[in-house]
Structure 1
Amino acid sequence: MSRKLIFPLYYAAILFQAGAYGLTFMLPRLFDSFGANEKVVGTMLLLTTAATVITVYFSGHLSDLLGRLRTLGMACIAISASLFLYGTVPGVGAGLAAASLLLGFGWGLTYSLGPIVMSRLVRADERVRYFTLLSVFVMAGFGFAPVIASAMEDAGFAIRDAFVLNGALCLVSAALFLALDRPIKAQAVNARPEAPSRITLAAVAGVLRSPARLPVFMVFLGASIFAGLNNFQTVFADARGLDYAYFFMSYTLTSVIFRLVMARFTGGANPYMTIALLQCLMCAGLALFVVSGDSLPLYVLVAVLFGLGYGVSYPVLVAMAADDADDDLGAQTLQLFALTYFIGIFGFPLIAGWMIVEVGTTPLLILITLLAVVEAALALRRGLARRGASAAEA
């Protein structure tokens, strides 16, 4: 199989399974259909967090045993089972808990191993470009799944039907990953056998001693911001009399279009300054959302600014994690990057759900905005340090 065919098939597999996470934005709506509130959403996602953290830690052990593509195929089957459970359970109980655990297991594997497989197919100087393209398909899955769910509701289907549909697409992803196992090994840039991917305490310590510790921490902050804003976007929209589909459509189109535009952008001479600038746009969008009320034009503007800020800066941050990693800890660094991402993605909704029920949506939005300010400041600090180091060398 040629490289020209491998990449679109790999990206298609990523796209089909990425919708699973996008449907977690619909969990408040799904849970409301059987009388559960945002606290229950947060609790179920806490189970997902626990499963994800454990899975990411052992993902390297599992992929060393089975191979990365076979592991990705197994992960997609687990995600499919999770979505079928979400689409059929009658209420809060063991079935819902099992669905949450399976989702964490599947996403922990796909999200941590996906970039590692990609890094084996491309040279170091191509990472930003191909990681950006990878993130385009992930974002398309994330963002369009809620839009499709909204369209299905408008057409008379139940929200559960969207989960079942995406479960079927995840089975397609599983088949594609399994079919790509041999072709990707044959087309690897480095023909040597795959280096061990397993995480050990020594590897964790090595990553934390390296410059990559900053992007690893920053992605945790960004994931918390993303989860707080997106997982409860249906709640924010309903409280203001707005249609959440406008937010997801605007955010997704902005992220996808600008990621495609920047696919050949390598981050500039100082990528952390690029990240800081983009995240300042994110801060502006979040601050606007606090005061925008029920204005639809401002609602769309918030989504666009968030798409530019978070959506476009994220793939550059992934590339920085890979570039800042020690040569012998590249796979482990990307896995820890995924681990902290998932702690934020699935852990922060517990805090967010509690805040919505106990103190309301506005304090939550203020907290999210403050986290964005901290993340932008960290990027700016690293960017200024790099500029100073470059000036000293000159």
Structure 2
Amino acid sequence: MTRSTMFTLFYLASFLQAGAYGLTFMLPRLFEGFGGNEKVVGVMLFITAIATLLTVYFSGHLSDRFGRVPTLGGACLSIAAALASYGLATDVGVSLVFASVALGVGWGLTYALSPIVLTGLVNVEERVRYFAILSVAVMAGFGLSPVMTSLMEKSGMTVNDAFFVTAVLCALAGTIFFAITGSVRNQASARGPEVRSSLSFASVVVIMKSKARLPVIMVCMGASVFAGMNNFQTVFADERGLNYADYFLAYTITVVLFRLVLARFKGGRNPYLTIAILQYVMFGSIALFLGIGGHVSLYLLVAFLFGIGYGVSYPILAAMAANDAEPEILPQTLQFFALSYFIGIFGFPLVAGWMMVEMGSSALLMLVVAMAGIEATMALMRSISVRAALASVASDTR
């Protein structure tokens, strides 16, 4: 298998399994069918969060034992089982709990291990590019699955059917990962011996004392903002008389196009300044969303701006986590980065679901916009420190 074929199949598998996360945006709609509300969605995603955090923590142990790519294949099968269980559920019971746990296990492994696999295959200067392409594949997958669900509903099918279709696609993704295991292993071994990935409390302490601490904290906040905007977008849209598929389609197209265009962009001399600017755009998009009412054109503008702000800043932030990491614990840093991401992505909906039911959607959006502003300011402060350091180095060389 050639190197280009291997990467193509790797990204294809990543795209196919990513649709599972997009379907979590459909959980409020799915749960309506058997009387579940946003609180139930929040509780199930909190269960997913616990399973995900435990899985990410032990992902290095599993990959050291079974191999990184075979573990990715098994993770996709876990996701497929989760989606099938969601689709078959008829009440709030054991099947939903099983589905939530299986989703957390599968998504935690795929998200934690995919960047580590890529890191072992590419040079340092290639990281932003390859991370960007991975994020394009993932974004296209979970951004298009809600659109697919909307089209299926319009054709007379159900939300449940979308879960079954995506379960099959995830199983296919697992098969692809198993098929490319040998090729990935050969390519990675040519670059040197594989560093062990096991995460420990001691490595977490080292990470939190290093420069990588900031991207780890920021990705948690950004994931919470993302979850607050997207996990309940069907509810936001219904309240305003809008079509949630318009938002997800505009958001996905924006992110995919801009990430492809910027695939070779490494963030400039001061990547944190680039991140800060993009995240202030994200902040502005949410602030705009608070006052758009039922205007479709403004709704699309919100999706466009949020896609630029969050969607483009994320791969640069992921690359900064790798670049700021201590070299000897790079795999552990990327795992902890994933762990922090999932605390936000699956943990924040518990808070968000409660706020939606008890305080309304406007209160939730105000919290989300405040968090977006804080995250952008954190990036700006780091960029000021980086600029001062660069100026100091420049003056010393004169």
The two structures have a TM-score, normalised by structure 1, of: 0.99
The DSSP-based 3-state class of the residue aligned with 1:235 is helix
Distance 1:250 1:191 in 2: 40
The Cα of 1:180 is off from its aligned counterpart by 1.0
Q: Counterpart in 2 of 1:285?
A: 285
Quote the offset at 1:191 in angstroms: 3.4
Show the counterpart of 1:329.
329
Kindly report the root-mean-square deviation, in angstroms, between the aligned alpha carbons of the 2 structures: 0.7
- Contact 2:82/2:102 (<8 A) preserved: yes
Alignment of 1:218-229 (within 5 A): 218-229=218-229
8 Å contact kept, 2:28–2:234: yes
Deviation at 1:189, TM superposition (A): 7.0
Indicate the SS of the match to 1:291. Answer: coil
- Aligned pair 1:12/2:21, yes or no? no
Q: CA offsets, 1:42-98, max 9 Å, x none? A: 000010000001000000000000000110011001000000001111111000100
- Aligned twin of 1:69: 69
Are 1:159 and 2:130 matched, yes or no?
Answer: no
Q: State percent identity of aligned pairs.
A: 57
1:142 offset after TM fit, Å?
1.2
Distance 1:323 1:64 in 2: 23
Q: Which amino acid aligns with 2:237?
A: A
Residue 209 of structure 2 is matched in structure 1 by 209
Q: Which amino acid aligns with 2:18?
A: A
Partner of 1:137: 137
C-alpha displacement of 1:245: 0.4
1:28 paired to 2:28: yes
The equivalent residue for 2:148 is 148
- Alignment check: 8 A CA contact 2:121 2:191 kept: no
Aligned positions, number: 394
Equivalents in 2 of 1:108, 1:193: separation in Å?
A: 25
The whole-number CA distance in structure 1 between the counterparts of 2:175 and 2:192 is 25
One-letter code of the match for 1:314?
Y
Q: Distance in 2 between matches of 1:263 and 1:189?
A: 26
> How many Å apart are 1:204 and its aligned residue?
0.6
What secondary structure sits across from 1:336 in the alignment? helix
- Equivalent-residue separation in structure 2 for 1:321 and 1:386 (angstroms): 15
Give 1:14 deviation, angstroms: 0.1
State the alpha-carbon separation in 2 of the partners of residues 290 and 352 from structure 1: 16
Asked whether the 8 Å contact 2:188–2:194 carries over to 1, the reply is no
Q: State the distance in 1 between where 2:170 and 2:389 align.
A: 46
**In the alignment, structure 1 residue 372 sits paired with structure 2 residue 372:** yes
What is the match of residue 317 of structure 1?
317
CA distance, structure 2, for counterparts of residue 107 and residue 242 of structure 1: 30
Query: Per the alignment, in what secondary structure is the counterpart of residue 309 of structure 1?
Result: helix
1:193 is displaced (CA, Å) by 2.9
1:188 Cα deviation after fit:
2.0
CA distance in 2: counterparts of 1:6 and 1:280, whole angstroms: 37
Cα–Cα, structure 1 residues 288 and 156, in superposed 2: closer, same or farther, change >3 Å?
A: same
- Whole-Å separation in 2 of the counterparts to 1:234 and 1:50: 24
User: Which residue identity does 1:334 align to in structure 2?
Assistant: L
In structure 2, the partner of 1:244 is 244
8 Å CA contact 2:44–2:97 kept in 1: the answer is yes
Q: Map residues 162-201 of structure 1 onto 2, 5 A cutoff.
A: 162-188=162-188, 190-201=190-201
Deviations 1:224-275 (A, max 9, x none): 0000110000000000100000100000000000000000111101000000
* 8 Å contact kept, 1:14–1:137: yes
Distance 1:325 1:83 in 2: 35
Q: Identify the residue that residue 258 of structure 1 maps to in structure 2.
A: 258
Note the C-alpha offset of 1:5: 0.5
Q: What displacement does 1:167 show?
A: 0.3
Question: Contact 2:120–2:191 (CA<8 Å) still a contact in 1?
Answer: no
State the alpha-carbon separation in 2 of the partners of residues 245 and 199 from structure 1: 39
Name the counterpart of 1:392: 392
- Partner residue, 1:37: 37
Q: Which amino acid aligns with 1:236?
A: F
* Pair 189,133 (structure 1): closer, same or farther in 2 beyond 3 Å: farther
For structure 2, which runs of at least 5 residues remain unmatched after alignment?
A: none
What is the alpha-carbon distance in structure 2 between the residues aligned to residue 277 and residue 189 of structure 1? 39
Shift of 1:278: 0.5
Paired amino acid for 2:283:
C
Alignment check: 8 A CA contact 1:122 1:189 kept? no
SS of corresponding position for 1:188: helix
